[in-house]
Structure 1
Amino acid sequence: MSISSALSNALSGLNAVSRAADVVSSNVANAMTEGYGKREIELTSQQLGRYGSGVSVVGVTRYHDPVVTGERRYAGAEAALENTRAEFYDSYAAAMGQADEKDSIAGRITGLETALIEAASRPDSEARLATVLDAASDLTTQINDASDSIMDTRMAADKEIAQTVDFLNSALQQVVDLNVAIQKQITQGYDANGLMDQRQTLVDQISEFIPVNEVEKDNGMISLYTNGGAFLVDSKAATLGFTQTPIITPDMTVYGGALSGLTINGLDMPTSTDKGPIAGGKLAGLFEVRDVLAPQAQTELDALARDLIERFQTPDADSTLAIGDAGLFTDGGVAFDVLNEEGLAGRISVNALVDPDQGGDLWKLRDGLGAVTEGDQGDATVLNSLANALQKSRVAASGGLTGIERSALGFAADIYSLAETNQLNAEADLTYASARRDSLEAIELENGVDTDQEMQRLLVIEQTYAANAKVISTIEALMDQLMGI
């Protein structure tokens, strides 16, 4: 081997070692960076004629396991979906209140029942009649507030859907832009791994809302499509469409045209959480809250409000009522109409005839809402009838909890129990999904940067660098000796 060949080999070795040190330092620096793919340098020996001519750097490879990453994305989307459900049931159960709490709906029913019994023991006491009015008002207010909470949840879900659609449209276009930039970098012979890291982070964010499959194409480009077969990124980005509704009332549905659905490239898309183009992620969960879970909760509350109104809107509860008269509880001041149950929980109120602040008289709680003049102050017949009406077991006419006779308290307790059961089930599903996601994230990290291994590689690089530098210094000494001859 000639001195020039030896010098060429050593110089190429220094260049390769320097590049390797750069790769190792990048790995160590980004060991905790989300979306970062571990780099590995690729080297090959150079050949000049029949002799070796050092080493050359082929490139830097970004390590990526598409199977593990894909599974982790699905698990993350499932966890986001279950978290959306759990948050809804938690807010619904909170709005109902625990059955054993005084300020819950069940607690307010118990308070009204107690007030009626105490007033019946002293029907001449105006203070006890006022307590009945307050208890009845507290009950209707609690039901109204729970109904308002459900409507607020629906509007919040609708708003978040709009924000999510805006984000997805922006993110999908960014993926397309990164595709183009990566293709350009690769075709020009530059390192595009940093851009690939950015793209992976974007796809991770997208998959939380809509689970996506990633397909690799030529020159580092990718396509994205959902499990339901909707393409989100190919040669260009898909466009998602949605219109936010500022005010939502119980009667408004997407099927009736009052609420916006989702479109992809102008085509209407189903939004089911189980199957369809966007199934399995947070976006589908938000649609489920707005269009399924919250309306079902509203239906249950409306059934409870109806049950309360109908209990007191009969001659058995108040013999002074005529057919069609409103009882102690009303639908916004009028008698309940079975054809107008939707949203009843938000309208239920105490009859103004017993409220002095609305021109009524407290004594009508004792003598009957249909009484024209005040009767015997010691007569507790109507008060006892009202208490019996509240305690009486009857079959609810609506709300999905039909077929079983319940008292008013039993009905409220069963609705809360159903909400709490759904909450516990959602939290259990969330725990499972989160554990699966965390497990896959751990596997992905194991395949990522191992700082111990990188430091070991750095020691080898240091030794290799020193060896190549020693060759150059030796060649320099030889050249000095030759020049001195």
Structure 2
Amino acid sequence: MSLSTAITIAQSAFNTTAAQTAIVSKNIANAGNADYSRRMALLGTTPYGAQVVSIYRAQNEALLKQSIASIGQASGQGRLLSGLELLKSSLGGNDYETSPAKFLAAFRDSLQTFASTPGNPSMAASAVSDAGDLANSISTTARAVQSLRADADKEIAIEVEKLNSLLADFEKANNAVKSATAQGLDASEALDQRDKILKQVSEIIGISTVTRANNDTVIYTADGTVLFETMPRAVTFAPKAAYDATITGNKIYVDGVPVAAGSGANTTAEGKLAGLLQLRDDVAPTFQSQLDEIARGLVTLFQEGNPSGVPPIPYAPGLFTWAGGTVPPAGTFVPGLAATLAVNPLAKANPMLLRDGGFNGVVSNPGGAATPDAGYTALLEGFIDAMGEDMAFDPATGLDGSSSILDFATSSVGWLEQLRSTASTASDNKFALLARTQEALSKETGVSIDEELSLLLDLEQSYKASAKLVSTVDAMMAALLEAVR
């Protein structure tokens, strides 16, 4: 071997070691980056020793796809659960202290106390006050439900805008991957960026991917609609300015195809959008219908009238009234009734009307309006009994179509709690699956500091060997020059 060949071999070794060291250094610098995949130098033999011929990027397509799917499932479940937690907090938290069921029971107890001392004006005022608290609880909760829907609608608009932006970024990253792959260049940076965007997209909407020639990737939604192919598909949504129980939210469209909402407590939603649609268009409206039925039941139970009298007096709201000013038909909820439920102002002015009647000209106390019987309890006892008797409710509320108003209000709380509890368990399971999947993916593609430091020690030995070769050639050259002199 000539001295010039030895120098060339040493130079090649230095270049190879430098390239490998740079890769290891980059790996170590990104050890904490979850969106970075480990790089490894692939060596090839040449007449002058080993050289870096390509850079291998650690990857596992199966685990990556599973991770993306798990992100979507956990995101959808988490968003549903957070909405249910907000509904729970609007009812007073863990013990549901401000729920209509609690105030309804308190009002019933107040009526019983008043019935035991029907001549006591302070007991009458207390019963009317409790009725006001009950009506306020129902109307306040109804407004909280519509606020939840409005907030979900606003969040949908934000997420749709974010999704369109991510798809535009994905197009750039995908083009960079295709270009680098076609030219035989290192596409690792672009692939990292593309995978990162895919994870962010899956948080918003459930997706699946297909890889084609030159590493080109096509994105489909969970229900099979094309979201990206060569270029992004348009994701559109028109938000509503405000919400009440009579308003239906607009759909989200991907390339003209509506996005399906999730269903069930262990929701089918993949991504935030499906979870938000489920909250806005299913969970909240169902709970709203239950509140509307409780409110309708109160108006019905405390109605006043005498249709068979002479002259006939049609039934009209008594103690409880609402914006419609009528007694709605039995067994059919009236959207938005709960939001306007209130205690009749006449009861606030004269609480004894609760005992005697007279809200609509029908006086029930035998003593008459001018000299009422102070011991009269028939009307109060009738109200108390009616609150425990079965009445017709709309089955569209998701609850029993025939039950007492007390049981119906309690069942409404139970419905929400069961939904929330199941959603919480499902959320724990889905996030645990996501954590395990990401851990498995990290083991395959992530950076191990121990491995990289061990590789650095090997590279150090390689450098020393190359340096030894150079020093030997230098000594030989020095000896040759000395001999020539």
Name the counterpart of 1:405: 403
Unaligned runs of 5+ in 1: 47-51, 254-258
Name the counterpart of 1:449: 447
Q: Is residue 60 from structure 1 mapped to residue 55 from structure 2 by the alignment? A: yes
Q: Deviations over 1:319-352 (max 9, x none)?
A: 9994322122122261222377111111221122
Q: 1:365 aligns with which of 354, 366, 369?
A: 354
Q: 1:291 aligns with which of 277, 281, 284?
A: 281
Q: Is residue 414 from structure 1 mapped to residue 411 from structure 2 by the alignment? A: yes
Local SS of the residue matching 1:323: strand
Local SS of the residue matching 2:136: helix
CA distance in 2, matches of 1:348, 1:385: 22
Local SS of the residue matching 2:48: strand
Residues paired across the two proteins, number: 465
CA distance in 2, matches of 1:477, 1:217: 56
The answer to whether the 8 Å contact 2:76/2:269 transfers is no
Name the counterpart of 2:346: 353
Return closer, same or farther for 1:397/1:42 CA change in 2, 3 Å cut-off: closer
The answer to whether the 8 Å contact 2:99/2:413 transfers is no
CA distance in 2, matches of 1:100, 1:364: 34
The answer to whether the 8 Å contact 1:273/1:281 transfers is no
The answer to whether the 8 Å contact 1:100/1:107 transfers is no
Name the counterpart of 2:175: 180
Local SS of the residue matching 2:242: coil
Q: Is residue 429 from structure 1 mapped to residue 426 from structure 2 by the alignment? A: yes
Return closer, same or farther for 1:127/1:458 CA change in 2, 3 Å cut-off: same
Partner letter of residue 321 of structure 2? T
The answer to whether the 8 Å contact 2:290/2:412 transfers is yes
Q: Deviations over 1:184-231 (max 9, x none)?
A: 455566543223222211111001122222333444442222232222
Segment drifting more, 431-440 vs 81-90? 81-90
Q: Is residue 71 from structure 1 mapped to residue 66 from structure 2 by the alignment? A: yes
CA distance in 2, matches of 1:273, 1:340: 24
Name the counterpart of 1:234: 229
CA distance in 2, matches of 1:215, 1:477: 60
Q: Deviations over 1:413-461 (max 9, x none)?
A: 1111111111111111111111111110110111121111111111100
Segment drifting more, 176-185 vs 304-313? 176-185
Segment drifting more, 185-194 vs 228-237? 185-194
Q: Which residues in structure 2 correspond to 1:73-472 (within 5 Å)?
A: 73-97=68-92, 102-185=97-180, 191-253=186-248, 259-265=249-255, 267-273=256-262, 280-313=270-303, 322-332=313-323, 334-338=325-329, 341-356=334-349, 361-368=350-357, 369=359, 370-371=362-363, 373-374=369-370, 375-398=372-395, 399-406=397-404, 408-447=405-444, 448-472=446-470
Return closer, same or farther for 1:479/1:77 CA change in 2, 3 Å cut-off: same
Local SS of the residue matching 2:209: strand
C-alpha deviation, 1:53, in angstroms: 1.9
Return closer, same or farther for 1:68/1:311 CA change in 2, 3 Å cut-off: same
C-alpha deviation, 1:117, in angstroms: 1.5
Partner letter of residue 81 of structure 1? G
The answer to whether the 8 Å contact 2:90/2:144 transfers is yes
CA distance in 2, matches of 1:163, 1:388: 51
Return closer, same or farther for 1:283/1:438 CA change in 2, 3 Å cut-off: same
CA distance in 2, matches of 1:268, 1:217: 24
Partner letter of residue 54 of structure 1? G
Return closer, same or farther for 1:191/1:471 CA change in 2, 3 Å cut-off: same
The answer to whether the 8 Å contact 1:92/1:150 transfers is yes
Partner letter of residue 244 of structure 2? T
Return closer, same or farther for 1:183/1:397 CA change in 2, 3 Å cut-off: closer
Local SS of the residue matching 2:316: coil
Name the counterpart of 1:40: 40
Local SS of the residue matching 1:41: strand
CA distance in 2, matches of 1:207, 1:312: 52
Local SS of the residue matching 1:271: coil
C-alpha deviation, 1:141, in angstroms: 0.5
Local SS of the residue matching 1:373: coil
The answer to whether the 8 Å contact 1:99/1:106 transfers is no
Return closer, same or farther for 1:26/1:113 CA change in 2, 3 Å cut-off: same
Name the counterpart of 1:49: none
Q: Is residue 4 from structure 1 mapped to residue 22 from structure 2 by the alignment? A: no
Unaligned runs of 5+ in 2: none
Q: Deviations over 1:270-311 (max 9, x none)?
A: 423379xx9622211111111111111111111221222212
CA distance in 1, matches of 2:426, 2:269: 16
CA distance in 2, matches of 1:221, 1:484: 63
CA distance in 2, matches of 1:333, 1:262: 33
The answer to whether the 8 Å contact 1:238/1:264 transfers is yes
Local SS of the residue matching 2:32: coil
Local SS of the residue matching 2:52: strand
Q: 2:480 aligns with which of 456, 475, 482?
A: 482
CA distance in 2, matches of 1:378, 1:402: 37
CA distance in 1, matches of 2:187, 2:94: 60
C-alpha deviation, 1:78, in angstroms: 0.7
Return closer, same or farther for 1:8/1:217 CA change in 2, 3 Å cut-off: farther
Local SS of the residue matching 1:56: strand
Name the counterpart of 1:256: none
Computed over aligned residues only, the root mean square deviation of the Cα atoms, in angstroms, reads 2.5
Name the counterpart of 1:17: 17
Segment drifting more, 409-418 vs 434-443? 409-418
Segment drifting more, 418-427 vs 87-96? 87-96
Partner letter of residue 373 of structure 1? A
C-alpha deviation, 1:386, in angstroms: 2.3
